[in-house]
A and B are shown apart, each in its own frame.
Chain A
Amino acid sequence: MNDDAQKPIEDLTFREAMDELDAIVALLESNTLELEDSLASYERGVALLQSLQKRLATAQQKVDVLMGELVVDVTDEERDTTLS
Chain B
Amino acid sequence: MAAMDIRGVQRPESAFSGPNPFQPVAPDAGADGLASPASKALSVSAAVDLAKGALEGIRVTVLGEVSEFSNRPGYKAVYFTVKDERATLPCMMWSGRYRACGVDVCVGQKVEMTGRFSVYAPKGRMNFDVQSLSLAGEGRLRMEVANLARRLEAEGLMDPSRKRPIPVMPEVIGIVTSPRGSVVHDMLRTLRRRFPLSRVVVAGVPVEGPQAARAMMTGLRAAYDAGAEVILLGRGGGSFEDLMPFNDEKLAITISRCPVPVVTGIGHEPDTTIADMVADLRASTPTAAAEAASPAREALEEQFSAQAAALGRAVRTTMSQLCSHVAHVATRPVFQDPQALFATDAQTLDYALSRMARALSLLAVQDRDRVASLARRMAASIPRNLERDRSALALAQSRLASVAPATVARGAADAERSGAALFRAADAELERFGHGLALSAARLHDLSPLAVLARGYAIARDEAGGVVKSVDAAEVGSPLSVSVSDGTLHCTVDAVEASRHPAIEKETA
Residues of A within 8 A of B (CB): 13-15, 18, 21-22, 24-25, 28-29, 31, 33, 35, 38-39, 42, 45-46, 49, 52-53, 55-56, 59-71, 73, 76, 79-80
Contact B219 A31 (CB under 8 A): no
Give bound CA distance, A79 to B188, whole Å: 13
Interface assignment of B139: CB less than 8 Å from any CB of chain A = no
**A55 shortest CB reach to chain B, Å:** 6
Within 8 A of A (CB), among B167-184: 169, 171, 178-182, 184
B200 at the interface (CB under 8 A from A): yes
A-B contact pairs, 22 of them (CB 8 A): A18-B169, A28-B318, A31-B318, A31-B321, A33-B318, A38-B318, A42-B312, A49-B311, A56-B197, A56-B300, A59-B196, A61-B191, A63-B188, A64-B201, A66-B202, A66-B203, A66-B226, A67-B205, A67-B219, A69-B204, A71-B179, A73-B185
CB of A59 within 8 A of CB of B197, answer: yes
With known contacts A61-B192, A67-B219, A73–B182 Cβ distance under 8 A? yes
B200's nearest neighbour on chain A, judged by CB, is A63
| List of A residues within 8 angstroms of B205 by Cβ | 67-68
Q: Does B223 contact A (CB under 8 A)?
A: yes
Residue with the greatest number of chain B CB neighbours at <10 A, chosen from A24, A31, A65: A65
Binds A, one of B11-19, B242-250, B301-309: B301-309
Q: What are the residues of chain A within 8 A of B308 when measuring CB–CB?
A: 46, 49
Q: Contacts A45-B311, A66-B222 known; A61 to B200 CB distance under 8 Å?
A: yes
Q: Which chain B residues lie closer than 8 Å to A49 at the CB level?
A: 304, 307-308, 311
Given contacts A38-B315, A69-B204, contact A45 B191 (CB under 8 A): no
* Most B Cβ at <10 Å: residue of A49, A55, A62, A64: A64
A76 CA to B428 CA, complexed, in Å = 170
Q: Which residues of A contact B181 (CB under 8 A)?
A: 71
How far, in whole Å, are A45 and B237 apart by their CA atoms in the complex? 46
Residues in A whose Cβ lies below 8 Å from that of B180: 71
- Let me know if A39 and B196 touch, CB within 8 A: no
B131 within 8 A of A: no
User: In the assembly, what is the distance between CA of A67 and CA of B311, in Å?
Assistant: 46
In the assembled complex, the Cα of A62 lies from the Cα of B199 at a distance in Å of 5
Q: How far is the CA of A45 from the CA of B318 in the complex (A)?
A: 15
Interface contact B315-A29, CB-CB below 8 Å? no
Residue of A nearest to B170 (CB): A15
Most buried by A among B197, B200, B317: B197
A48 to chain B, nearest CB (A): 9
Whether B197 contacts A65 by the Cβ 8 Å rule is no
Q: Nearest chain B CB to A19's CB is how many angstroms away?
A: 10
Contact of A35 among B185, B314, B318 (CB under 8 A): B318
Contact B171–A15 (Cβ < 8 Å): yes
Say yes or no for B218: interface residue by CB 8 A criterion. Answer: yes
Q: Is A64 a contact of B300 with CB atoms below 8 Å?
A: no
Assess the A67–B314 pair: CB atoms within 8 A.
no
Task: Give 1 or 0 for each of B185-197: 1 = CB within 8 Å of chain A CB.
Answer: 1001101100011
Query: In this complex, what residue of B is CB-closest to A34?
Result: B318
Identity of the chain A residue whose Cβ is nearest the Cβ of B188 in the assembled complex = A63
- Please name all residues of chain A whose beta carbon is closer than 8 Å to the beta carbon of B313 when the two chains form the complex: 29
Specify the chain B residue showing the minimal Cβ separation from A80. Answer: B189
Is B322's beta carbon under 8 Å from chain A?
A: yes
Partner of A67, one of B188, B191, B222: B222
Q: How far is the CA of A17 from the CA of B254 in the complex (A)?
A: 34
Inside 8 A of B3's CB, which chain A residues have their CB?
A: none
- B182 partner residues in chain A, CB cutoff 8 A: 73
Q: Is the CB of A29 within 8 A of B314?
A: yes
- Chain A CB within 10 Å, residue with most, of B198, B201, B219, B307: B307
The answer to whether the Cβ of B453 comes within 8 Å of any Cβ in the partner chain is no
Give the one of B192, B201, B314 with max A CB within 10 A.
B314
* B202 and A63 contact, CB distance less than 8 A: yes
The interface residues of chain A lying within 8 Å CB-to-CB of B199 are 61-64
B203 touches A42 (CB 8 A): no
What CA separation (Å) do A66 and B197 show in the bound complex? 19
The CA-CA distance from A83 to B198 in the complex, in Å, is 20
For the complex, give the distance between the alpha carbons of A16 and B85 in Å: 67
Q: A15-B171, A61-B192, A63-B199 are in contact. List 15 more A-B contacts (CB 8 A).
A: A24-B311, A28-B310, A28-B311, A29-B310, A39-B315, A42-B314, A45-B307, A49-B311, A52-B304, A56-B300, A62-B199, A66-B219, A67-B219, A68-B203, A76-B188
Q: How far is the CA of A71 from the CA of B225 in the complex (A)?
A: 23
C-alpha gap A39/B316 in the complex (Å): 10
B204 near A70 with CB under 8 A, answer yes
Q: Give, as a whole number of angstroms, the nearest-CB distance from B314 to chain A.
A: 3
Give the residues in chain B near A56, CB-CB below 8 Å.
196-197, 297, 300-301, 304
**B189 → chain A closest CB, angstroms:** 6
Which interface residue of B311, B315, B317 has the most chain A CB atoms within 10 A?
Answer: B311
